Amino acid sequence: MNNKGSILADMTQFIPRFIFLVIAVVCLVVFIKGFIVVNVNVQDAEEMVLTNRLLFSPTAISYEDEFRSYPGTIDLPRFTSEHLEKSTSYTNSNTFAMKLELLKTNGKDPYPNSNTAYLHQTTYDKLEPLARTKLPGSGSAKLYERRMYVTVKGENRYQQAVLKITTVIANS
């Protein structure tokens, strides 16, 4: 009876030791896992490349004559969602989206006779509210906003404007 009681007392005393062992092992595993990088996060680079692609590509929104394209000069007839989808077509449109707006030089009022152009509008409507929450995690998204001065080529006339590009990229 005494031996049984002694073993029981020992077992009770070993519970804190066992908990300490588990904590030490968990710390060790977390420490080792911290050094192992498998995922590569390229969201920032992806946003930059996509923006530059829309601005510089001869088939995107830039004005192009028979000789060359003019980065920084927006061809107004090309500034449509349909044209964007045609010039930058992804097999999976659920991972990112872009919204392009032309504004007057004050940066607030919309540029006359211009539409808001979207790349993957459905995805944009889905991801933008999530990105605004700034919540981390794979279910959310990251939002980037850029404004730049551009020249808009309308019908036989050039005008200054502000191009606002909002990009949302899903966290993965």
* Positions that interact with other proteins (CB under 8 A): 3, 6-7, 9-11, 13-14, 16-18, 21, 25, 28-29, 32, 36-40, 42, 45-46, 49-50, 52-53, 55-60, 62, 68-69, 71, 86-92, 95
In angstroms, what is the minimal distance from the CB of 55 to other proteins? 8
> Which C-beta is closer to other proteins: that of 85 or that of 104?
85
| Sheet with 62-64: strands ordered across | 62-64, 69-75, 141-153, 158-170, 96-103, 117-119
> Which C-beta is closer to other proteins: that of 11 or that of 148?
11
> Which C-beta is closer to other proteins: that of 40 or that of 106?
40
Instruction: Give 49's strand partners.
Output: none
In angstroms, what is the minimal distance from the CB of 106 to other proteins? 29
Given a contact cutoff of 8 angstroms between Cβ atoms, the answer to whether 60 and 87 are in contact is yes
Q: Which residues contact 140 (CB under 8 A, 6 or more apart)?
A: 130, 131, 133, 134, 170, 171
